[in-house]
Structure formats: C-alpha cells, structure tokens
Structure 1
C-alpha cells in the first residue's frame, strides 16, 4: 500500500519524482535489503566451488579472494543500478530497477571453476565480459526474439535454474561441500542452524509488515548467525589478521585475475544472456504496470537490456559476476507504490559504499555455511516456484507436454548423472552437464520446429498421463 504522505498519486507514479529525503533514504535502503543476500550469495557459492571458500584447504589464503568477490558483487550491483536509474545515453531504462548478481549463471559457472581455485578465474571472467557485451547487443533486437521464448521455454529454464541450485542449499545446510566426508556433515546442530534461519524468515514474511517483511531473509540470517555463535560455529581463525590489515577503502582492480577466452565459458554465458534478457523484459513490464499502471515502452525495455549487458561486461573486467534486474523489487514497488528512480539511486549509492569497504565483505565471509544454507534453501526454492508460476500460463496440450518432458528429462538427467557424457571433449562436457543449456536448446528448437496445429488428438488439453483423454488442464 502506498504512503500518501510521500506525495500525490500522480507524483508517486512519476519515475522522476523525488520523495522527501528523510523518507527516500529508508525507501532506498529497503530496496537494497530486499536483494542484499541474493546479491552476494553467488560469490560465496563460486568461491566454495572453486576451492577457496568455506572450510576449504585454502583457509586464510583463500580469504582475500572470497572477500574481494563479495566486495565486487556489492560494488557492481550498485554501479549497474546507476546505469538503470540515471542512464548513460541509450543505456538504462531510467526506471527504479535494482540490479544484482544473477542466479541464472551459477549452473554455468560451477562446472567452469569446480576445484580449480583462482586458476579458473581468468576463463570465468573472460566469459563474463564477452557474455555481457553479447547481452548488450541483444538489446538491439530483444523485441524480435521474444517469439522464440514463450512461457513454456522461459518457465522451464527458470525452473531448471532453481533445480540446479537446490542441491547447493541442502549441502550448505548440512555443513558445506568440503565437510561431506566428515562426521559433522548432516548433524542435528548443522540442520538446527539452517532451520532457525528458515523459520525466522517464514515468520517475518507472513506475520510482519513493512521493512521487517521485506528484510526477512537478511534478518533470518542475522538471527542464525547469533544462534551459531552460541554453539561455537562462528570462527574468526585467519580472519582477524585479514580484518586488521584490510584498508578502510579498497578500489577495484582491473584484470585482477586476468582474462582468458575459452569456448565453453563464452558459449555458456552468451546463451544464458538470452534468458537474463527475457527476465529483464518481464521485470521492466512488471515495474511499469505495478508502479505506474502502464506498459513499458520499447525504449525502456531496450535501455534496461543495454544496462544489463554493459553492467555485466564492466563487472567482468574488475572481477564481478553478471548482473541482471532483481525481481524482488517488482513486488516491492507494487507494495509501496513509489515509482521514483531516485529512491533506488540512493540504494545504489549505499551498495557502492559497501563494495568499497573490504571489512563489509570480510564480515559477510564469517557467516557460517549452515546459516547461508538456510537462506539459500528459501531463495532457491523461490526460483523454482517462480518458474512453475511462469509455466502456469502454458496451454498444456500434448505438443507442449512433449517439449517440456524431453527438455526436462535430458537437462535434469545430465545434471544428475554427469558421467553419462564423460567421453565428450571438455568444453562440450561442461556445457552439457550444466543441464541448463541442453534443456534450453531442446525447448527452444522443438518449440520453433514442431507445428502448433497437430491432429485433434495431439492438441487436446489433458489432465492425466500421455495416454489420457481428459479435457482439464494440467494442475500442480
């Protein structure tokens, strides 16, 4: 519900309106809190996968790298958000769009870095850079390719992203990947920490209002953090020295890890850019409908896509991950009724300040993996739910069921059993075992190739299995 004291109804729908500063600042921080944990989570996951994250043998040696990646996630989320809100020529929608590190690319990044440490970073950031530039190019023709990405395809892809990530959430809640072969993995204490986070998050989401509800995941993690401290799970070993040596302000370092341009990374990031671009179109449309009661203009959609790509490319140069618009803020704008882009600009400045202060990243690094596990179980589950919600718009005739069935079976199957393609060349194997890319390619190609109008029996809506002859729609 909007606050009439912020301005008139017409002013609240105007992206160029600035509410009084004493109200604009907390509104801006509210936008940041809605996405804060989601934004830094990919950096933590990729650090862990590479081998210099939680509980890795790298120990204190890996600490600076993980802290730097967290730092860059905050800094370039803020910078990319400024691209959206303030704009730069054709770049930016000039709308209250909050940018952040995209979950969509995690299933692509994990196979690229798995167990390889910082040696894998040059190829990873080469892919981020090229994928970002390609993402920006998509902005020139985004309207013309939307026909190839209906809810059947986009819903499947988003669902697959969530399914690829839920395993990470469970592993983290049980004690983290490095602890899998240790006695404490899956202990009641580990799970109790994750459950505290989940329960606090759910309680605030459903029974609190305003800032408390918006910040539910952040508060849940804070409560879980203190719960972990009581049981001695928070460790500052090797961190105290790094904390004391950390400069008050640290600027990003261009090409810190170098750049390499590997085929697998480039193909993976470019293909996922399509998915991210379509998500951004949906977010922009949702913001203009929810905040201003109108459809997004072509210039706004194109500018938003440009900002996605340019923000990602710039981040890649400095050791940041791909950026995209955050859907959490679509609902937040609909709730507050405040369409001001300047409010989000304030939030972006807050993110940039956090990204320039290494001690913020160092503090985040001390969060126990079990605490983060509770948070990501909620977040990744919501990704799956969002995909299923998109699939609810699909006309579930036999044609669409076959497309969905084949794409899901192959994609999820390769993800669950990566050794099935162990004899493929390394590049192709990495792309296939992500599960996401084969599923997306199969769904897109079959959707374009298979005719819409088949026989009556083939296109009737069904509620049962493939051999059923019901007339109801598939329900979940």
Structure 2
C-alpha cells in the first residue's frame, strides 16, 4: 500500500506510526482505528450501568445520568492512561494504549447493594472500596512479589474465558434475549464474523487494520435489514446535557464496603493482567513496575471519580486489549481520538444512544475472536514462566479451584459467606488462589553452577 509521509515525524509514514506509541498519524488513518475501540466497548460500557439502574428501579433521568457519567469518565480515564500525570515519584497512568470502561466485575456486588439501598449505596461502596485499589497502586513496588507471572497469566486466562462467555451470549443475541440463539441472530453474527476474517486475510493497510470497525458497520447494515436495530432511544434522547457531580449522594454500609474491597482487589489484578497483556502481545515483554503501578492508580482514581459523578466503577477493558493484541496498533494518538468520542458522547446523549443501538449479534460476531486473544496472552505468559514441576502444581490447583470450581452458585452454596465473596467470581478466585498457592509452594532458589567461563567473569568483577 502506498503510504503518505508525515513531515512532523521525520518522514515516518502514517502506516508505520500506528505501530509506534508516539507520533500522530493523519486523522483519516488514526480516527477509524480509535473509533473501532469505542464501538467494540460501547455496549459493554453501558450494560453494567443499565443493569444496576434496573435493579435499583431508577427513573429514566437517573439512568441517563449514570450512562452519561460512565461515558465521560471512561474517556477521561483513558486519556490519563495514555498520557500519565506525574506527581513526585508517583505516576498516574501507564503510558500504554489502555481503554477504560465500566467493569462487569462489580455487577453481582452492585446488584445486591442496589436492591438494598439503591444507587447511593452502590456509589458509597464503590467510592470507599476504590481506596483498596489505590493502595495496591501506591505500594505495588512492595506488593508485586504477590503478582508473579503465574498469577497474572492465570488471571488473564480467567478473564479471557469469562469474556468468551460474554462473546458467546452476544453472538446468540444477548443474555436473556427472547430470541437467544435464533437463526436470525446467528446469521447476523456469522456474517459479521466472516466479513472480519475476510478483511483480516485479504485486506491491506487501514482496511486490514480497522477490520473490526468495518465488520461492525457491515453487521449493523445486515441487522438493519433483519429489523434488529432499535432506534427508539435515539429519538427520545436529549441533544446535550452536562454531567454534574453528586447527582446521587453516596450512602455507606460496612458489609457493602467490604464486598466492594474484595472486588477491587480482583479488578486491580484484571488491570495488572491487561496491562501486561498489551506489553506481551505488542512489545514481547511484561509490563514494567512503573507502567503497572500507574495503570492501577489511574484505575482507582477513575473509579473514585466515577462514583462521585454517579457512575459504576471502571477498569481496563479486556476486549480492547484483545484488539490491540490482534491489530498490533499501539499508537496513543489513535486511541486518544477514540477516547475523545467517549467524552463527547458524555455530553451528547443522542449520539451515545446511536452507538448503543448496535445489536448484540453484531458485537458478538466482531469480538468473539478478540476475546480469545486475552486467553492466548495468558497462555503466552505462562509459557514464558515455564512449566516446571512446581509451576505445574501451582497452575493445577489455581485452575481447579479458580476456574473449575468457582463461579458455580450451586457448588459453593454451603460455603461461609466470606468465602462466597471470593468464589462467586471465577476471576477473583483464580487471582487469590493463585497468590496463596504461590506462597505455599515457593519458587526454589537457583543455584549457580560455576564453570571455568563464569569463574573468569567472577574474578574479573
């Protein structure tokens, strides 16, 4: 493909810049790559807020407030991840192409809180609980020994497996949909899926790199022909409003806060895993201490601000990590343009509702293979750690309890309440079981074998 030189970047072509962190490819190249990230996460970003609003029996006005705040904070926190803020020796943000969005991990805990005390109780638990994640970010230097490659790799695999379940439900029409698994939904999903594969196999340049975006547009047209696109929300949405803090005044309850703290530890692990997922897939290295700590701090601050503005907590979105892993596009300017769309949507409910109208089968068809990339990144990290006898034992216990046992309500029915908090979520269980098992089976100390060559080196030192 013929490339256009970018004079601002010493003659580096736009198509070369998209694979570099820094630099600004021209808008026509960068914007589609950023937009596909927004389209990929938009429904997932909205869904947790819509679920909690329904459980809390929130009014339409309150629901709109939650959605707008969610989009605004997701965009702003993404900017912080891309362009970190430095305060003394601390860095808030990773400096990596991480896209932030509302986390599904909080939905079970938030649903229980919403049923008990409405949205204010959810926000109170989320606000105080975010301090736990902030603590991990501030002291990651000392806590990182708990987050070994085995733990992070296992967490990535658990995240990927969970996302594959989400992708499957989207593919079939959306969890709980009346026409779940219908031939119409499957036709739309498979058509989108195949179109993306064709573009990735035969496309060139931006066509290949932005295959997910074009796949989503193609699937949207197919869904329109099938009558599966609901535009009613677009007509009723306001043109412009300004999100304001403390629309909901948070309320606090000890048990709710404890529940949120546990989930925040899991979300911190997700963020750590997704941060390393990007660096492993694109730079073939684990994330540095500075990148990881900054990523977790940005996540924690984003969650606290989201609670003040009336939205659900956020986290690094796994599906967007999958997109970066698949396309290898790491340019921060591209992602920043996508984050700008999120911020603008935070002020324009009508525009946001257009994105929200993308049917579930279209998202499933475009993203199910992306979700698989997260699992593969976890496997890659485990492979780098090696499969020694000790590592195999740790992984066996971690997967048996974290993925095989956890997350099944009937299986954990007889557990004490405090253990249920952990084992209700397979990602939380995988993370904590992995940490404990790593401590129970410590890594054996390496004994250096002195040869003639190494002896010479020691003498020289």
What's the TM-score once normalised by structure 2's chain length? 0.77
User: Structure 1 108/413 Cα, relative in aligned 2: closer, same or farther at 3 Å?
Assistant: farther
Q: Counterpart in 1 of 2:188? A: 193
* 1:375 CA displacement: 3.4
Q: Counterpart in 2 of 1:164? A: 162
Tell me the distance in 2 between the aligned counterparts of 1:223 and 1:397: 47
Tell me the distance in 1 between the aligned counterparts of 2:327 and 2:212: 18
Q: Counterpart in 2 of 1:444? A: 435
Counterpart pick for 2:44 among 42, 45, 51: 42
Tell me the distance in 2 between the aligned counterparts of 1:388 and 1:94: 23
User: Structure 1 76/47 Cα, relative in aligned 2: closer, same or farther at 3 Å?
Assistant: closer
User: Structure 1 440/50 Cα, relative in aligned 2: closer, same or farther at 3 Å?
Assistant: same
User: Which residues in structure 2 correspond to 1:144-159 (within 5 Å)?
Assistant: 144-159=142-157
User: Structure 1 207/118 Cα, relative in aligned 2: closer, same or farther at 3 Å?
Assistant: farther
The question of whether the paired residues in 2 share the 8 Å contact of 1:407 and 1:442 is answered with yes
The alignment yields a C-alpha RMSD, in angstroms, of 4.0
The question of whether the paired residues in 1 share the 8 Å contact of 2:322 and 2:374 is answered with no
Q: Counterpart in 2 of 1:210? A: 205
Matched, 1:29 2:14: no
Tell me the distance in 1 between the aligned counterparts of 2:312 and 2:51: 16
The question of whether the paired residues in 2 share the 8 Å contact of 1:67 and 1:362 is answered with no
Q: Counterpart in 2 of 1:434? A: 425
Matched, 1:322 2:314: yes
The question of whether the paired residues in 2 share the 8 Å contact of 1:39 and 1:73 is answered with no
* 1:334 CA displacement: 6.1
Tell me the distance in 2 between the aligned counterparts of 1:271 and 1:111: 13
Tell me the distance in 2 between the aligned counterparts of 1:16 and 1:384: 24
* 1:446 CA displacement: 1.1
Tell me the distance in 2 between the aligned counterparts of 1:316 and 1:82: 18
Q: Counterpart in 1 of 2:405? A: 414
Counterpart pick for 1:81 among 74, 78, 87: 78
Counterpart pick for 1:140 among 138, 141, 154: 138
* 1:357 CA displacement: 1.0
User: Structure 1 151/298 Cα, relative in aligned 2: closer, same or farther at 3 Å?
Assistant: closer
* 1:124 CA displacement: 4.2
Quick check: 260-269 or 152-161, which moved more? 260-269
Counterpart pick for 2:243 among 246, 251, 255: 251
Q: Counterpart in 1 of 2:261? A: 266
User: Structure 1 346/118 Cα, relative in aligned 2: closer, same or farther at 3 Å?
Assistant: farther
* 1:264 CA displacement: 1.4
* 1:444 CA displacement: 0.9
SS at match of 1:323: strand
User: Structure 1 99/321 Cα, relative in aligned 2: closer, same or farther at 3 Å?
Assistant: same
Tell me the distance in 2 between the aligned counterparts of 1:357 and 1:425: 46
User: Which residues in structure 2 correspond to 1:23-422 (within 5 Å)?
Assistant: 23-26=25-28, 28-47=30-49, 49-50=51-52, 52=54, 68-90=65-87, 91-92=91-92, 95=95, 97-101=97-101, 105-110=103-108, 112-113=110-111, 121-179=119-177, 182=178, 184-237=179-232, 239=233, 241-243=235-237, 246-256=238-248, 258-261=250-253, 262=256, 263-277=258-272, 279-280=274-275, 283=278, 302-318=293-309, 319-324=311-316, 327=321, 345-415=336-406, 417-422=408-413
Tell me the distance in 2 between the aligned counterparts of 1:178 and 1:139: 37
Q: Counterpart in 1 of 2:449? A: none
* 1:192 CA displacement: 0.8
Tell me the distance in 2 between the aligned counterparts of 1:155 and 1:366: 34
* 1:400 CA displacement: 1.6
User: Structure 1 316/47 Cα, relative in aligned 2: closer, same or farther at 3 Å?
Assistant: closer
SS at match of 1:101: strand
User: Structure 1 129/185 Cα, relative in aligned 2: closer, same or farther at 3 Å?
Assistant: same
The question of whether the paired residues in 1 share the 8 Å contact of 2:395 and 2:434 is answered with yes
User: Structure 1 321/63 Cα, relative in aligned 2: closer, same or farther at 3 Å?
Assistant: same
Quick check: 305-314 or 355-364, which moved more? 305-314
The question of whether the paired residues in 1 share the 8 Å contact of 2:132 and 2:261 is answered with no
SS at match of 2:176: helix
* 1:195 CA displacement: 1.0
* 1:159 CA displacement: 0.8
SS at match of 2:180: coil
The question of whether the paired residues in 2 share the 8 Å contact of 1:43 and 1:66 is answered with no
Q: Deviations over 1:99-126 (max 9, x none)?
A: 3126xx5244346428967966445444
Tell me the distance in 2 between the aligned counterparts of 1:299 and 1:185: 44
